[in-house]
Chains A and B, each alone.
Chain A
């Protein structure tokens, strides 16, 4: 019988809670309070997340975000700045023990293994997706998914995005460009380098259809059975606390 993992579909939440809940699940797993888990989620309001090592002021147009009601948050993981559109993106996270068969000491190998679920999920939709080291999934060379991993307390947390639709103009209203002069150039570069499910298939795929494909992709590729479950009380309380004390705070978000 396939190994059973928990599946969480936590729907729409704000950026601070979303990042807090990923950390809370990882903490709960490290204390053996919950099974290995895959979580699917979205962002409401739309938000920008930046990598652990990035500077909020350098990457994000704070004023534009405030005007448009877009949240901004620093992630626990490295990597780049991402615009998470409420309707344009599905996000997932995986929380799994460090000594699990799917995890190796080698980061690239672990990215490849864990991303294989997304690659298969996209292929099930008819999209010829491929893993591209270090941490991307591409279609005909264009990025459709970005992923980031952290390891703490003997648990791996990997989270990442799946683009349903992409709007480069909006992306560069919320992300800073080095100068106005090259804004158009950067927008063109994104159009050349980034794709989405809509661009790849020429049609919109609903969140329900996308989730179904991704779930199947993870199950088959990782050889696991995903059982729908709920957040535990421990996770909910810890997530609220992490949101209030870390992720919604200036000290965290502007620390670099």
Chain B
């Protein structure tokens, strides 16, 4: 399993645990002390990322899409910050 911790500059802490299967995200958990409204959107983001290839831009755009579908607001971190941490965890896993 790949694990990474990423502190957003002037923002919050992000932690990601993930497992890869043939270069794709199999399981992922995004954790941290950021805010996301509505909170359950985190499960949508994780669902949408399963099966995704480990590509930072692709991951950012999937997160942005999941947020806008729900009209969700992320505070203390950006989709790009989450993507960065996911990449770090993926690279550690690989």
Decide if B33 touches A58 in the complex (CB within 8 Å): no
Decide if B37 touches A55 in the complex (CB within 8 Å): no
Of A52, A107, A134, A135, the residue contacting B39 (CB under 8 A) is A52
Decide if A53 touches B32 in the complex (CB within 8 Å): yes
Decide if B38 touches A53 in the complex (CB within 8 Å): no
Q: What mask results when residues 64 to 83 of chain B are scored 1 for a CB within 8 Å of chain A, else 0?
A: 00000000010110000000
Of B5, B36, B73, the residue contacting A53 (CB under 8 A) is B36
Bound Cα distance A108, B37 (Å): 13
In the assembled complex, A48 has its CB within 8 A of some CB on chain B: no
Bound Cα distance A256, B12 (Å): 18
Bound Cα distance A134, B12 (Å): 10
In the assembled complex, A129 has its CB within 8 A of some CB on chain B: no
List residues of chain A with CB within 8 A of the CB of B34.
53, 78
Bound Cα distance A76, B36 (Å): 11
Decide if A54 touches B29 in the complex (CB within 8 Å): no
When C-beta atoms are compared, the residue in chain B nearest to A55 turns out to be B31
List residues of chain B with CB within 8 A of the CB of A52.
39, 42
Q: What mask results when residues 65 to 92 of chain A are scored 1 for a CB within 8 Å of chain B, else 0?
A: 0000000000011111100000000000
List residues of chain B with CB within 8 A of the CB of A55.
15, 29, 31
Q: A78-B34, A107-B73 are in contact. Are A58 and B39 (CB under 8 A)?
A: no
List residues of chain A with CB within 8 A of the CB of B35.
77-79, 107, 134-135, 148-149
Of A79, A151, A178, the residue contacting B33 (CB under 8 A) is A79
Decide if B33 touches A54 in the complex (CB within 8 Å): yes
Decide if A53 touches B39 in the complex (CB within 8 Å): yes
When C-beta atoms are compared, the residue in chain B nearest to A105 turns out to be B73
Decide if A256 touches B31 in the complex (CB within 8 Å): yes
Bound Cα distance A148, B76 (Å): 12
Complex A-B, nearest 8 residue pairs according to Cβ-Cβ distance, in ascending order: A80-B33, A78-B35, A52-B39, A55-B31, A51-B33, A53-B31, A53-B32, A79-B33
Interface residues of A, dominant DSSP: loop
30 A-B pairs, CB-CB below 8 angstroms?
Answer: A51-B33, A52-B39, A53-B31, A53-B32, A53-B33, A53-B36, A53-B42, A54-B31, A54-B32, A55-B15, A55-B29, A55-B31, A76-B39, A77-B35, A78-B33, A78-B35, A78-B75, A79-B33, A80-B12, A81-B33, A107-B37, A107-B75, A108-B75, A134-B76, A135-B35, A149-B37, A150-B38, A152-B38, A178-B5, A256-B29
Bound Cα distance A81, B33 (Å): 8
List residues of chain A with CB within 8 A of the CB of B12.
80
Decide if B33 touches A150 in the complex (CB within 8 Å): no
Which residues of chain A from 136 to 164 have a CB within 8 Å of any chain B CB? Answer: 148-152
Bound Cα distance A53, B35 (Å): 8
Given known contacts A52-B39, A78-B34, A134-B76, what 16 new A-B pairs fall within 8 Å (CB)?
A: A53-B30, A53-B33, A53-B39, A54-B32, A58-B15, A76-B39, A77-B39, A78-B39, A78-B75, A80-B12, A81-B33, A107-B73, A134-B35, A134-B75, A135-B35, A256-B31
